Structure 1
Amino acid sequence: MQKLTFHDKWDKSISPKDRKRIEEGFREANISENSQFEFTSLWEARNYKGELLVTVLVHNLSKQPAAFDHIKIRYTEEEHEKVAEHTFSIESLDIEPRTTMPWTFIFPFDSLEREPVFLNGRLNIVL
């Protein structure tokens, strides 16, 4: 059974409102368990640098701890139209087996292929 956990920095700094949204997203997540990782989208935004911030629940569905080391991730919207793609190596993102953790993936401005419209956004690992 999946459990929800927060990275130490998140746990100390997240607002009560965002924590509630994350907990609700976890309860409502439709996890198919067809792969090692699955993502449940929570929200998206652009920062002052023009970077795309995509906050998701990362579900480690395997029986092994998981790390993000040179993992290519694509952000798509609407009818699977690619918006951005970037290779992530995140040393601090280690997820225990059968655990879900919220995380914000930051796509650099130069990784955007088109303007996001923030409609039905999804993250996928590119194999």
Structure 2
Amino acid sequence: MQELLFEASWEKALSTQDRQNIEDIFNETKHFSTSDLLFSTLRVAINHKEALLVTVLVHNFSNQLLTFNNAKVSYYIEGECIAERTFTLSALAIPSKVSMPWTFIFPKGNYIARPSYENGRLEI
């Protein structure tokens, strides 16, 4: 059965409202195991450094540890690749049958400017 875990820094920093939102989305999506990996979008924003922040719930439905070592991650909206970057994230190691929230940061210049970044999907 799928389990929800938070990386240590998330555990400390999450507000009660954000935690509840993540738990609600986890409960809605934890049975969508049509593939080994699924990203459920939680929030998309542009920060003060003009970086695109894509916060997702990463579902590892596989029987193996999921790591991000030189993993090319792309963000698509309506079939168009808006952002792409290669990530090596030593802090993000998701055990088998575990879901964990994470924010992927695409610095200014690594994404296409547009009026809205909503309704997109993250892919490896």
CA shift, 1:37, in A, is 1.8
Name the structure 1 match of 2:92.
93
Query: How far apart, CA to CA, are the structure 2 residues paired with 1:109 and 1:14?
Result: 25
Instruction: Output the TM-score relative to the length of structure 2.
Output: 0.93
Identical aligned pairs, as a percentage? Answer: 45
Q: Aligned to 1:24, what secondary structure does the other structure show?
A: helix
CA shift, 1:41, in A, is 0.6
**Equivalent AA in structure 1 for residue 53 of structure 2:** L
Name the structure 2 match of 1:114.
113
Query: How far apart, CA to CA, are the structure 1 residues paired with 2:88 and 2:55?
Result: 16
**Equivalent AA in structure 2 for residue 65 of structure 1:** L
**Equivalent AA in structure 2 for residue 99 of structure 1:** V
Counting only pairs closer than 5 Å after superposition, residues 1-127 of structure 1 correspond to structure 2 as: 1-29=1-29, 31-34=32-35, 36-77=36-77, 79-115=78-114, 117-125=116-124
**Equivalent AA in structure 2 for residue 10 of structure 1:** W
For the aligned residues, what is the CA RMSD? Answer: 1.3
Per-residue CA deviation, residues 73-102 of structure 1 (Å, 9 max, x unaligned), is 11112x222110111110000111000000
The answer to whether the 8 Å contact 1:71/1:87 transfers is yes
Gaps of 5+ in 1: none
Query: How far apart, CA to CA, are the structure 1 residues paired with 2:113 and 2:38?
Result: 24
**Equivalent AA in structure 2 for residue 42 of structure 1:** L
The answer to whether the 8 Å contact 1:84/1:114 transfers is no
Change in CA separation of 1:84 and 1:116 when aligned onto 2, cut-off 3 Å: farther
Query: How far apart, CA to CA, are the structure 1 residues paired with 2:45 and 2:87?
Result: 18
Instruction: Output the TM-score relative to the length of structure 1.
Output: 0.91
- 4+ residue stretches of structure 1 with deviation over 3 A? none
The answer to whether the 8 Å contact 1:83/1:116 transfers is no
